[in-house]
Amino acid sequence: MIMPRLPSLPSFVGGEDPGPSFTALLAAAGHRLDGLAGVDRDLPAVAHATTVVALRHRDGVVMAGDRRATAGNLISHRTIEKVYPAGRHAGVAIAGAAGPSMEMVRLFQLQLEHYEKVEGQPLSLEGQANQLSQMVRANFASALRGLVVVPLFAGWDERCGCGRLFQYDVTGGRYEEQDFAAGGSGSLHAGTVVKLGFRPGLPPADAVDLAVSALFEAADEDAATGGPDLVRGIFPVVANIDADGYQRLDDATVEARFRALLAPADGLADAPSDGPAGAPAGRSADAPTEAVPDDAA
Amino acid sequence: MNMPFYVAPEQIMKDRADYARKGIARGKSLVAVTYRDGVLLCAENVSNTLRKVSEIYDRIAFAGVGKYNEFDQLRIAGVRHADLKGYAYSRSDVEARSLANHYAQILGQIFTHEMKPMEVEILVAELGEAPGNEQLFHILYDGTVNDESLWSVLGGEAEAISERLGDSHDPGAGIGAALAAAVGALAGPERTLVADDLEVATLDATLGRRCFRRLPAAEVDRLLDAAS
């Protein structure tokens, strides 16, 4: 029986059926997704999100991102989030134009959940990474006008039983990284810190500390990256992803990791450190591993 | 020229209803019961892959009995409706009542206007914001909606099963007792059902955003053993 068009629920006949894809469903239902494709070259300053890092550890991956968005030379938001869950066992971290990035994350999350519900089983991690690649590529026309979105994607691959991470470029190019990846304006500094402190099979808690110190160093050198804001109580978003799924660390845990990081330099722990002045001594990347309970992650 | 025979509208409707009821009665039944943490959905289903119970949205589940391809189309339309609505407005604007109304319209429309009615009975279950506010919308092949609050039974033997559930149902029960009551009512006095005959899922308010969870066969076995 060919089902007649349902009068009040989305229904499609034959070749029009969008299948398990939510973006195809949106298009079929008449939503326009390319609203930014026709924008002029002279855009007003839009908010940009910066510095995110992701690294593999013994049991999965850690992702972290600072909280600052900038528009030109101004700080436009102090508390935006750049690390989001995607599916049950993965996360996506964004750098680039904040508005399109957050919309892309929202669509990506829906795409994964929609697929899982329609098909009855989740998309593989590889499939998820490819989906994101297509979404980044679809944004290319906007990227040429300055609305760049370059995410990091990381997750626990149940098929291989390991954490995996992927980096993207504006064309949708998808690059799987073995150890770590960094994105955004502070990525040079953040990436270097992770590179120096990284070793295979890091315990999760050490990976969290390494990500936290990478963001701290990036904030130290890059005006567009926000450091831990002890005055306002704003801390980077840090998430751990392992076989149990995506788990965002609570602010108290992240604050404790920052205070431990700063502790060797007496007195600095209590100082406002939004744009930290003197570099605290003894906070080399792999130093703050002592007294880190493994369950901190 | 052949003139079509006159058939009274009452007769047409009756024939269609009989046709749909027969189709539904051929399949196995399904029950949904409220319990302490939400709603437990339990279907007699020997297939491990063709699902009768599934997730629509964060706090909404779908269940269907009758012809698989027909209720599965309804399920997918429901998922699409919910996800589109949640995207266009907000996740909290997606609710079972509106979805149940859409289903009722569709089933009513098809029942009166198409050659063949849908041989399905479906259930849209939703967890309320507060415990005890669960809603079960039971929708029949002709678009009739029943709003039930404690339990709901779908399928051919609904009356007998419902009677048995009336004796054993306790909305404050834990998941084990709720499952035992549901399975006991489905099986009746003469049969015993084991995990392999069942498809069990819950809408569990303790799970966070996405409340739908399937219970694997091993867990169903364990719960049934513990309850007996």
Domain locations along chain A: 48-263
Contact by Cβ (8 Å): A9, B78: yes
Contact by Cβ (8 Å): A101, A132: no
- Alpha-carbon distance of A172 to A139, in angstroms, equals 9
Q: What pLDDT is attached to residue B13? A: 92
Show the tokens assigned to A95: 């750098």
Contact by Cβ (8 Å): A181, A95: no
Select from A9, A110, A117 the Cβ nearest to the Cβ of B87: A110
SS3 B201: strand
Model-level ipTM above the cut of 0.85: yes
Q: What pLDDT is attached to residue B116? A: 93
- Alpha-carbon distance of B74 to B94, in angstroms, equals 17
Contact by Cβ (8 Å): A51, A184: yes
Which run of H or of E encompasses B199?
A: strand B198-204
- Alpha-carbon distance of A19 to B71, in angstroms, equals 16
Find chain B residues with C-beta within 8 A of A3's C-beta. 70, 73
Q: What pLDDT is attached to residue A90? A: 97
Q: Give residue ranges of B with CB < 8 Å to any A CB.
A: 49, 51, 54-56, 69-70, 73, 76-81, 83-84, 86-88, 102-103, 105-106, 109-110, 114, 116, 210
SS3 B94: coil
Is 3.60.20.10 the CATH number for A48-263? Answer: yes
- What's the gap in Å between the CA of A139 and the closest CA on chain B? 19
Q: Which of A2, A5, A8 to mutate to test the interface with B (most CBs of B within 10 A)?
A: A8
- Alpha-carbon distance of B203 to B52, in angstroms, equals 15
Find chain B residues with C-beta within 8 A of A26's C-beta. 84, 87
Q: What pLDDT is attached to residue A61? A: 97
Catalytic sites of A, residue numbers = 50
In chain A, which residue's Cα lies nearest the Cα of B55? A117
Select from B49, B54, B102 the Cβ nearest to the Cβ of A9: B102
DSSP type of residue B155: S
Low-confidence stretches of chain A (pLDDT beneath 50):
1-2, 269, 271-297
- Alpha-carbon distance of A137 to A126, in angstroms, equals 17
Tell me the count of A-B CB pairs closer than 8 A. 57
- Alpha-carbon distance of A95 to A101, in angstroms, equals 7
Select from B79, B106, B116 the Cβ nearest to the Cβ of A118: B79
Q: Do B77 and A113 touch (CB under 8 A)?
A: no
Select from B55, B114, B116 the Cβ nearest to the Cβ of A117: B55
SS3 B105: helix
Compute how many other C-beta atoms are within 10 angstroms of the C-beta atom of residue B125.
30
Taking the Cβ of residue A103 and every Cβ of chain B, the question of whether any pair is shorter than 8 Å is answered with no
- What's the gap in Å between the CA of A13 and the closest CA on chain B? 12
DSSP type of residue B218: H
Q: Do A9 and B77 touch (CB under 8 A)?
A: yes
- DSSP labels for B12-78? HHHHHHHHHHHHHHHS--EEEEEETTEEEEEEE---SSS-SEEEEETTEEEEEEE-HHHHHHHHHHH
- Alpha-carbon distance of B115 to A66, in angstroms, equals 61
Contact by Cβ (8 Å): A124, A92: no
Q: b/e string for A166-177 if b means 16 or more Cβ within 10 A? A: bbbebebebeeb
Low-confidence stretches of chain B (pLDDT beneath 70):
1
- Alpha-carbon distance of A3 to A13, in angstroms, equals 8
Q: Do B105 and A8 touch (CB under 8 A)?
A: yes
In chain A, which residue's Cα lies nearest the Cα of B214? A120
SS3 A94: strand
